[in-house]
Chain A
Amino acid sequence: MAPRLTSSARQLVGAALLGVTVVLGLLSFAGAAEAATVKGSPPKVEQQVIPRPTPYYDQFNSGMASSSIRVFGTNGQLLMYGNRDVKYYLPQMLVSGKTPAALWALGYQLFEQNCSACHGVEADGVPPANTPSPGNVPYPNLTGLGPATYDFWIESGRMPAASTPQTQPMRRPARLNELQALAISDFLNTKSPQCPLCYAASPFVPNVLDLATANLSDGAALFALNCAACHTITGDGDALANSTFAPSLRDVPARQVAEALRTGPGNMPVFSGNLTDAQLRDVVAYVTEKIQHPQNPGGLGLGGIGPVAEGFIGLALGVGLLALVGFWIGDRS
């Protein structure tokens, strides 16, 4: 051909276009990979790790017909409570070297500093100087909610709340460490209106220590039945009505998954009567092992948001690239 452009120039232009496409593809690949790494590892927060002894969990089989189980320690304190299906153990036993009184005092101090401005000094949701709440929604009354609730909200970084009001608080790096969360829990337990120093009313921190024995297959089935409707089957979460959302499960630690199931934060239902402790562990194991570390062949996962991203890749990379190839080998008069 004797075109306006020589054929080698034409090939150069074509090669350049292809090159740009490849670079764009690589960039988006890198972007996705970076997003994936950010997703996978939240910024580390220095935490005081407290060894958690296995509770007297397995000593009680599920054959007991009693609707309530209580286990008391040698000096009379309640160690564990529950029923045939659900068992909770107390946070006190996790704390070595802290007397209950010292823990309570620490909790009281932390609560005054971090929480009372909104929730009130009595933790009843009445703030001191009638601080207006965003959107005139009353502040939650915290009394009698149980250690699992307190632990979940504090350790997921949602409380103390961010300074900008949000319809639904988002997961952040925790502002208080595990011990401080337990201390606040301990203080708030004594504010329970039903019975101070009585723990039977509310869920305690669930046991998620023996996940290795969990049944992943059952966990997957339970997840598909109970969780996928909001969190999506891949656990990425999605928007719900009126600015609320089901958060992504990709970076939630096992204990918080279990606490969320037992306490139902925000819009989430409480899963206590319909999930046994064994099933709870199955679900938690599925989330922390397979949702968070998927066994996932087949190439780049495209953010797990499904056919929208797939369609975009198919159209942009597939059809677009091929149209460019056509543009290259065709004529452009």
Chain B
Amino acid sequence: MTARLGMRLPGRSKKEREPLGPYGRVGKAVEELDERLGIAKGGKTFLDKIFPDHWSFMLGEIALYTFVILLVTGVFLTLYYVPSSALTIYHGPYKPLDGQLVSQAFSSTMDLSFTVRAGLLMRQMHHWACDIFVGAIVLHMARVFFTGAFRKPRELNWTIGLTMLILAILNGFIGYSLPDDLISGTGIRIAYSILLSIPVVGSYLAFFLFGGNFPGTSIIPRFYVLHVLIIPAVLVGLLGAHLFLLVRQKHTQFPGPGKTERNVVGSPMYPVFMAKTTGFLFMISGVVALLGTFFQVNPIWQFGQYKASNISYAVQPDWYMGWLDGALRVMPAWEFVGWGHTIPFNVFVPAIIFPGIIFNICYAWPAIERRYTKDNLLHNLLDRPRDRPKRTAAGAAMLGLLSTLFVASATDVLANFFKISLNTVLVSMRVLTVIVPVIAYFLTYRICKELQAVPGAGKRKVVNVVAMTEGGEYTATPVAPPPELVDHELDAEPVPGLIGEDAPADAVAAAAAVGGRPGNVGTSSVRTVPR
């Protein structure tokens, strides 16, 4: 503006501007910020934070970024969704439901799917992101479990992570219920019945949550508040605590040359990890967007409004609730009737007691393991799963049990698809639920032991030179590996710092020689820092 008007402010001419530092405009801007806010110290710690490079450390990031996608798409959905059970007449492009009396929740979700521009894409991305979110949490948790990353000092973060998983499952279920369609309404009905099955307090709890008898008009607005406000707020808080502890306690790492209990080997936040993780964010958004575009999820228009009189067969919950549905299905129909009361064990045991036991085992696992191993040391180096065969086998048994129950949630689909009797499938699933964990335990234990017994299993083999003697005999001679096979990555190499620290003089000189910045010097970005 000033230039166009031909004016010059005193002392601000281009020529007189102080020269930019070695880090250019960004460095200058950061310096200005530091003068005011003192960000250099914390910022340097953050930008220099070391992230181990192993791929399995990326699984938690899938969960983190799908959570971001969930927040963004979720905000879009709240702009159009009406959390009300009030009845209205649906009029819209989907003719088979035109003129039907539906709730505003259902009607607004129909509008989101058919009328709002990009609404269906947002709905489907939200749903797929949720499916991936919970899946990534489970995978991340499995990695932490099987490598022993939950051991002292990280038990608290294990607890926080597990709580987030439970909240994610809960919020997934609640969100799935919000459209008030036939399928999710059936889910709410099951939830109501599960609450009722709790002895003594069940009916009070159910009436409290639903504001009266099922279905009532309170549950949709209440679920909405839980879904968009309370649970996400708790999740964000726990996520902050999770990441804070991660930074505070620093990452674990797999054992290897140069890696000890007292250091962390990996790439710094800036520039290596930042580039990786940003790329990963785009990849995750891309995959979710592709799924939302090409794969239909939860087509509520086919289901119609939920009415207490209606039900559809072949109804399953989303996959992360599947194991609970499966547990309900395989449970024999046992109940206690006496003194004017009924205790429906067929609901109470699989839907309340069983998940209670499962989650409590998970919560207590670090303590259980400490108690049995009498191991009270700090652990920053991870275990190879094979080296802890009992833990690995227990984890496999748990996954086996939950997977079997997940499959059991599709008894009817299996029976129909393979044209076998539903009764046969159900009985088979009961048997499998009992024997699969046992088989998984012993099989995994055996495999771990075998892997331990084979020296160097899974490791790079020694290089041999095979030669034929004049007599025709072949000999194999082990030789030193050629340089390109030697593991250089673990050798620590200094990388110039960014903020508040001058780049080493030789790095600057080397950079000047090739016309670049000090950050470009050196072929490796891997660094070792003390804990």
Contact = CB atoms under 8 A, between A and B. Distances in A.
Contact of A319 (B52, B132, B183): B132
Given A242-B421, A294-B302, A325-B283, A225 B310 contact: yes
Chain A CB within 10 A, most for which of B52, B254, B309, B415? B415
Contact of A242 (B100, B256, B292, B423): B423
Q: Identify whether the interface residues of B are mostly helix, strand, loop, or mixed.
A: helix
Contacts of B307: 224-225
A1 B319 contact: no
Contacts of B309: 225
Contact of B299 (A219, A228, A298): A298
A16 interface: no
B498 interface: no
Interface residues of A, number: 66
Given A231-B313, A313-B295, A332-B54, A2 B319 contact: no
A224 B489 contact: no
Interface residues of B, number: 91
Max chain B Cβ within 10 angstroms of own Cβ: one of A233, A234, A238, A312: A233
B487 A240 contact: no
Contact of A308 (B128, B301, B316): B316
B413 A2 contact: no
A321 B131 CA distance: 13
A130 B366 CA distance: 71
A293 B315 CA distance: 21
B417 to A, nearest CB: 8
B177 interface: no
Interface string A214-242: 00110111001100111111101111111
Contacts, number: 238
Nearest to B99: A217
Given A241-B422, A302-B295, A330-B53, A1 B416 contact: no
Interface stretch (B89-97, B205-213, B221-229, B241-249): B89-97
Interface string B419-440: 1111101000000000000000
B484 A4 contact: yes
B284 A217 contact: no
B522 to A, nearest CB: 10
A224 B312 contact: yes
Given A4-B485, A330-B55, A315 B135 contact: yes
Interface in A293-318: 294-302, 304-308, 310-315, 317-318
Interface of A: 1-4, 167, 216-217, 219-221, 224-225, 228-234, 236-243, 245-246, 286, 290, 294-302, 304-308, 310-315, 317-319, 321-323, 325-333
The 8 closest A-B pairs by CB, nearest first: A311-B319, A330-B55, A314-B131, A326-B58, A331-B53, A239-B415, A233-B312, A298-B296
11 contacts: A4-B485, A216-B98, A243-B422, A295-B94, A298-B120, A305-B314, A308-B319, A308-B413, A319-B136, A321-B287, A326-B280
